[in-house]
Structure 1
């Protein structure tokens, strides 16, 4: 008696055999494709067919992302506009008072016969690189003799004094930063008008020197250029006092300062025009000449006495 199922219910190969066959076929195709790249054309054809479908499927997510970004950008721009509008309104009274004070100052100077302060015209320059000497604080800018740059010009940024032009070449110039150990800037304390000189320490810091230990100096005092050196215009921010060390054994206090300008982190700076200093009056020049002659005469007398001895 035949117990086999009817042809309608006849089963094919065993599942384990089918799994082994398809696994072997997959490994063979993978090896052949990796070795001979035979399925590259087929893969490209499938990618070309499925690419539009992928774009259609990703369109809703991309649309939502773009919409969210547009909304975020519009909100941020609106917030920035509101903030700038508030800042403009808040600065308007101060700006008007500043303009009024400048006009009043100019009128009083005219009444008193005092010469007007020189205005500083600035030209933007880009920092190309730093100097090769690792022990100095110098930078190189893209302005030189062809741009009428001269040695001694002050260099500033949007916050204060950066340094001074020390060497000029045809197309570039070298600027010595105020933090260089060979750089000194005459300054004045805004709070009480006390004048002194700030020196660079060569490590990004500054030191205010020649201040008596009992002087009225406080941490947080702002230092600006005094203008007595004939190079830097008065009133430009230079540094802020950060630490004061007073010792009764020394006549002067040790005062550490931090530069106000971005001395070590900037990409553009501004060159101020060379300050035009007025010549000394005839009386002062004659007096200085007389002093120099008397000094030379005294030195010659000392030399003669020394030779006789």
Structure 2
């Protein structure tokens, strides 16, 4: 066989094209060109859209196991939480059932004792549901306008409450609406009682959207967290309604009185629906003749004009 007929080309494994450095420079320049072209002229956007559309089924298929694992974990966690909530609800229901049974027993005993002592039946406050229309435009007062007025049976000075506690009372009455002064108003005041010690006092508003329990001695038995309730002695508020709780006590105040700051039980902002109660004085027996007329509540006296004489007399 002649030597000239032999194939002297190297096998494919030993064939060498451009060098590795050349390939690196070429592909780096191509990548840089594509990035600049995509940023300035969006040339690669159609290609990216085609690739995204083509790869979407593949991505969804690959995400199926991950989604199943995540949903299964969430389902198990939710099932565990639901069982714990069910157990807690059952425990609270049992406790409430026990409290309801005790309450019925106490009501029966109370009725029997009142009959035995020949006392008049306890006062039941009648209520009227109302909706808050808007807040008063005066920036220096805390007042609301409700959609119930004199024609619906709302009385001047009627207490206004919600599911959290006392909000205030009606201070201005119209035929189809009424103005409610909130407890946090600077002219509001309400007679209260400490639910722990049964010590009576008066709470005043206008202290940074909070209440202040005034005229309490510096050594009085008041603690942070004490519940403050309506006393029912003003003939307006039914007794036992939640008013506030003691938030801060300053026993170093001047004048021998402690400065007691209260946090209202009911949230004063964002109120939409309220209950207007009938003043207690409508259900109380008539006042004996000869006794002076007292104001409806402490807030009514606090909202009186400041120029009026304190004792109601004339000039000296």
TM-score, normalised by the number of residues in structure 1: 0.73
Aligned to 1:278: 282
Structure 2 CA distance, aligned partners of 1:74 and 1:255? 50
User: Displacement, 1:129?
Assistant: 7.0
Q: Which residue of 1 aligns with 2:123?
A: 117
Give the structure 2 partner of residue 70 of structure 1.
75
Partner secondary structure for residue 123 of structure 1: strand
Task: State which of 91, 102, 106 in structure 2 corresponds to 1:101.
Answer: 106
1:198 to 2:203 alignment: yes
Are 2:182 and 1:177 aligned? yes
Q: Kindly state the Cα deviation for residue 226 of structure 1 after the two structures are TM-superposed.
A: 1.7
| Structure (1/2) with the larger helix percentage | 1
The structural deviation recorded for 1:28 is 2.9
Note if 1:254 corresponds to 2:254.
no
Pairing 1:16–2:21 present? yes
- Alpha carbon RMSD of aligned pairs, Å? 4.0
User: Aligned equivalents of 1:283 and 1:147: distance in 2?
Assistant: 27
Count of equivalent residues: 286
Give the counterpart of 1:186 among 180, 191, 206.
191
Please point out which of 221, 224, 230 is paired with 2:235: 230
State the shift of 1:17 in Å: 2.2
Structure 1 segments unaligned to the other structure (5+ residues): 290-298
State the partner residue of 2:251. 245
Q: Is the 8 A contact 2:157 2:169 kept in 1?
A: yes
1:104-161, Cα deviation, whole Å (9 max, x unpaired): 32343345140331235363746x876555544x254664559948453423344422
Question: Whole-Å Cα distance in 2 between the matches of residues 213 and 25 of structure 1?
Answer: 84
How far 1:36 moved relative to its partner?
3.2
| Cα distance, 1:45 vs structure 2 | 1.4
- Offset of residue 174 of structure 1: 5.1
